[in-house]
Amino acid sequence: MRVDAFKRFVVTRAGRVRCEAQWRLGPDWCGRLTDCDLWYVWDGRGRMRLRQGSIDLHPGICLWMRPGGRYEAVHDPATPLGVAFVHFTPYKARGRRCLKDSALPKEVHYVRDEWLINTLMSKIARLMQGRDVRTRESATARQRQAADLLRCVVQELLRPNQRLTPASHERYREVIERQVAMIFEHPGVAYPVHELARQAHIAAGYYSRLFGKIMGMPPRELIQRARLERASQLLRESSASISEIAVQTGYADVYQFSRLFKKRMGVAPGRWRKLP
């Protein structure tokens, strides 16, 4: 299954918790589950009973729980579980909710890149709980950003199953992830794809395909996302003009910047700045 099998995700709740010593997940909980609940275990030890048997809970395991499943769990009070969770509903084409087993990936996933999943899940939790103090987006905007990040999580969970990246390409993955971190740290810098490919010692055409498989989107789309996310912060936090912010985030043409910003955020830059 590919992540693009899902048209969109709607995130309703998210958090990051350390379970109490007396914590347990009883059979009544799964009976009340009406949407998907994605768990990522970032610490601790425990055990969960599923319909097909029992599994150990430990750092690096993800559980895609859904209505109708069986989920009963306990943990070791000496090493209590630390869990990041996201409640969401996936949709396919024509606005159809996708909650049945036959239309969803498997329940248990073993994460290859724990740092990436932990970072993404933590960011989703901060957005949904309104704890990202650097931004003042509306609840709808935060929900949309959380859905984008969840798509990245799902992309990563499905990647090992699809074997999108051969083992011999893992060294390229590390290079690309360092480049992505650089892009988000300095989004206003020009990043020609052919130059990124040269740094990775890969032909430009193959680099773009490999980048898309690893990150779930083409290089130019990710660069634009990084720029517009930074622009949304600057519009809230600085007194710089829209033209100045456009230049700071890599757009020489303020009209192109305004058009792309509205397409991404749903409102024009000037309107975004005035939102409560």
What pLDDT score was predicted for residue 168? 43
Per-residue pLDDT, 163: 40
* Domain parsing of the chain, residue ranges: 3-161, 167-274
The full 3-state SS of the chain, as one line of letters, equals CCHHHCCEEEEEEEEEEECCCCCEECHHHHHCCCCEEEEEEEECCEEEEECCEEEEECCCEEEEECCCCCCEEEECCCCCCEEEEEEEEEECHHHCECCCHHHCCCCEEECCCHHHHHHHHHHHHHHHCCCCCCCCCCHHHHHHHHHHHHHHHHHHHHHHHHCCCCHHHHHHHHHHHHHHHHHHHCCCCCCCHHHHHHHHCCCHHHHHHHHHHHHCCCHHHHHHHHHHHHHHHHHHHCCCCHHHHHHHCCCCCHHHHHHHHHHHHCCCHHHHHHCC
> Mean pLDDT across the chain, nearest whole number?
87
- Reported as a single tens digit per residue, the pLDDT across 240-275 is 999 999 999 999 999 999 999 999 889 999 999 988
Q: With bands split at pLDDT 50, 70 and 90, how would you rate the model's confidence at 162?
A: very low
The listed CATH number (2.170.130.10, 2.30.110.10, 2.60.120.280, 3.40.50.720) that belongs to domain 3-161: 2.60.120.280
pLDDT in tens, 170-200: 667 888 888 999 999 999 999 999 889 888 8
CATH code for the part of the protein at 167-274: 1.10.10.60
pLDDT (tens digit per residue) in 68-115: 999 999 999 999 999 999 999 999 877 789 888 888 999 999 887 778
